[in-house]
Chain A
Amino acid sequence: MWRFALNRLLQAIPVLLIVISATFLLVHSAPGGPFSAEKNVPPEVIKALEAQYNLDQPLWQQYINYLGDVVQGDFGPSFKYSGRTVNELIAAGLPATAELALYAMLVALVIGISAGVTAAMRPNTVQDYLPMSAAMLGICMPSFLLGPLLVLVFGIHLEWLPVSGWGDMPGDKIMPAITLGTGYAAYIARLSRGGMLEVLSQDYIRTARAKGLSEPVIIFKHAMRGGLIPVVAFLGPAFAGLLGGSFVVETIFQIPGLGRFYVQAAFNRDYTMILGMTIFFATLIILFNLLSDMLAIWLDPKLRQQARGNN
């Protein structure tokens, strides 16, 4: 298993290098620069700023320098937030975003798996159609619509929950987590329904029934393990997506997270910020994919044994 992990991490190096190079080229080939603005700034001032951040050097020189810094874990200074480094900004935004992603993931897993499993137990009946139609709706509903709707109903009309903020008032984390998690819950519901249907039609489920086991034992012990493997495989990309895709929700609920920085950086042509965040997210995606693959291997005794044999 560890050899498998190490292998995958080594494979990640060229992937990251491509991500860095492509992003570097893209941001630098976009028109304008971090210091171009609507106001007329004297050219000398811009020159001085560019010299300060080494932007006057040839592009390849900047690229080499940047790579050198990144290898040491230094994403450089932000161009827009003067005096602060990209590392500091990521560190500042990450806790809120990570917490939000975690809660959203919990929402997605609990709602998604229970809906999917319920549906699979009685396929093509009301018990199936109801949760699955809800899931379809959840997939179609964008978070910029769902968020304000929730705010309108539970925040303003019923006044049950605070309409914005993060950790300021009790319960202010509920609506953001639901808003962000719903789409993923819907997707997980469909995945777990498919996986469970497949497993429930297997011969070994018939064996379990013939043994006189009760439905709960059959579902939870015999079927879930195999049936939820598709969900496990989806967890990695989903978690990375939650971390990177929280911008809309963070904006709606005024959450001081990473998403905001990312989008602002793009508007501001804050080269180092865009690059730093992109590399950060790429690394997360690679790591979480690896984790969910390892989990899937661990769940399957046959794969687990093969992985052990490879060590």
Chain B
Amino acid sequence: MALLEVNGLSIYFYSRNGVVKAVDDVSFSVDAGETLAIVGESGSGKSVTCYSLLDLLPKPPAKIEAGTALFDGIDLLSCDDTQMRRFRSNDIAMIFQDPMTSLNPFISIGEQLIEPLIYNEDKSRRQSRSEARLRAIELLNEVGIMDAERRFDSFPHEFSGGMRQRVMIAMALINEPRLLICDEPTTALDVTIQAQILALIKTLQKKRDVAVIFISHDLGVVAGIADKVVVMCEGTVREANDTEGIFYRTEDDYTRKLLAAIPEGAKVTPSRAEATGEPMIRVDNLKTYFPDYSKTPVGYIRAVDGVSLEIQRGEILGLVGESGSGKSTLGRSILQLAPITAGSINFDGTQLNKLSADHLVPWRRKMQMIFQDPYASLNPRMTVYQTLAEPLLYHGLANAKNIDQQVQHLMDDVGLARNNMRKYPHEFSGGQRQRIAIGRAIATKPELIIADEPVSALDVTIQAQILDLILNLVEKHNLTMLFISHDLSVVRCISDRVVVMNQGVIIETGDTEALWADPQQQYTRDLLAAIPMADPKSERLRTTR
């Protein structure tokens, strides 16, 4: 018998708008020393499934309709609160997606770490504070926190995201659990940190022989870490097999679709950059500093620290970097949305940062932005029609007579059905919203578009559609684009040329394929090496190396 056996699990959510079958007849099992990955897109029920195992779902609205989850022969779904706390304390631990919000900001790291020991539900397993402290420091060292003794009393805000996730892992392991549930543990992290955390989870698992359930939407990550994979879609299991079976011999259409949607390889269409003539955008020695009030005297955060680059008309320039590299600030600085400290930005020979707000208006029409989060960047109280008509009317590109027609054309352009015109943003899915945001950006017939992580918030199948749409629009409207992303695979399949940024400065620039084939800088090499591939064989090769 396996360590955990889930059978026929069904979880429904009851709301005023009806019943949602979040999880519908799901079964799987996982054994000690084994890693089971549950993959699926948002809304597939993968997280709900795992939260129900530790009774972490809000009830109501959630209700477990049917099924059992036998852990060591005891049903997790029907045991009482005390028994559940005992399981949580000693047997099953969980690591969450966002390390920035998963630790209590009011309590020191050390105190949070020792809590499972000093408040253990099982009184015989309780430890004194001093014993627990020693154990915690030992574990902090093991998960790679330097100077653990001193950092024990630090608060979460003094740690970076990667460090916090290490603390979460230490906390999960402190009572030597037999099952570890990881809910997208690396999704919020940079790619190099992700590689470190994945390696850490793997090593710790081998050492302790724990069972791992690994929830992820990223097939690349799954290929490297999982022994078995369950593919979920809309609450049901579409396919369950060993990892190689899923990646190389899948029978299921949905799994195939997921695998096909992974951004891979080079850009297919040739570069449209005009080889000759002046560059469209020239940035010279740009510096954008923000005041840092945490220092005395007030210091500066050098978000962009002396960047020079050129964008040719018609080209798609990829800008990659990890969080905090200054890539978004650079994009905003070019658009005059962030106050620049020094340097110059020229658009077709006009120095934008010398223009007054009034004189900037016609230039604003020529440069538009697409933002990362289509949930936050659209005004929830404006219909699609209003959102798209506003820039047209403001810049005098349409009048009362032809505005309807113009908006309809825009909707055709971005692939939205015309009858959606009077709907509000909340009535659309994430992908459709990003289409609206793109429509708003191209409404003014701009020449330059700065896209700041336009597909990072989207599921992989939707991501592929939006990337296609962007490429089509660039061609159709003869656009020039600065495409900002932390996802190197996405950047590779859309950019003609790539700029790599780190800590406010440009590390390396080059034609995309040349840079991929032969990166000149160590930082770029590390970045490229950290990208997980959706190919179990090569992933395994890499991690054993």
**A residues near B87, Cβ cutoff 8 Å:** 212
**A residues near B116, Cβ cutoff 8 Å:** 211-213
Given contacts A207-B96, A209-B88, A302-B157, contact A214 B106 (CB under 8 A): no
Q: How far is the CB of B174 from chain A (nearest CB, A)?
A: 9
A301 within 8 A of B: yes
Given contacts A203-B96, A210-B54, contact A302 B119 (CB under 8 A): no
Interface of A is mostly: helix
Q: Categorize the interface residue count of chain B.
A: 20 to 34
Which chain B residues (318-375) contact chain A, with CB distance < 8 Å? Answer: none
Q: Which chain B residue shows the least CB distance to A226?
A: B106
Q: Looking at the complex, which one of A203, A214, A305, A309 makes contact with B296 (CB distance below 8 Å)? A: A309
**A residues near B120, Cβ cutoff 8 Å:** 212
Does A206 contact B56, Cβ atoms closer than 8 Å?
A: yes
Distance in angstroms between the alpha carbons of A300 and B94 in the assembled complex: 26
Does B107 contact A214, Cβ atoms closer than 8 Å?
A: no
Given contacts A203-B98, A302-B105, A302-B155, contact A211 B296 (CB under 8 A): no
**B residues near A213, Cβ cutoff 8 Å:** 85, 115-116, 119
B418 within 8 A of A: no
Does A306 contact B293, Cβ atoms closer than 8 Å?
A: yes
Does B171 contact A299, Cβ atoms closer than 8 Å?
A: no
**B residues near A207, Cβ cutoff 8 Å:** 94, 96, 102-104, 168, 171
Which chain A residues (216-248) contact chain B, with CB distance < 8 Å? Answer: 217, 221-222, 225-226
B93 within 8 A of A: yes
Which chain B residues (148-165) contact chain A, with CB distance < 8 Å? Answer: 155, 157-158
**B residues near A305, Cβ cutoff 8 Å:** 155, 157-158, 294
Does B54 contact A301, Cβ atoms closer than 8 Å?
A: no
B101 within 8 A of A: yes
A82 within 8 A of B: no
Q: How far is the CB of B434 from chain A (nearest CB, A)?
A: 25
Given contacts A301-B106, A310-B296, contact A214 B101 (CB under 8 A): no
Contact with A along B100-125 (1 / 0, CB 8 A): 01111111100000011001110000
Q: List 29 A-B contacts (CB under 8 A).
A: A203-B101, A204-B105, A206-B96, A207-B96, A207-B103, A210-B88, A210-B93, A211-B93, A211-B115, A212-B87, A212-B88, A212-B90, A212-B116, A213-B85, A213-B119, A214-B119, A222-B107, A225-B106, A226-B106, A299-B106, A300-B106, A301-B106, A301-B155, A302-B155, A302-B157, A305-B157, A305-B158, A306-B293, A310-B296
Which A residues fall within an 8 A CB radius of B?
A: 202-204, 206-214, 217, 221-222, 225-226, 299-302, 305-306, 309-311
5 new A-B contacts at CB < 8 Å, known A209-B56, A210-B93, A211-B115: A204-B101, A211-B93, A212-B90, A302-B105, A302-B155
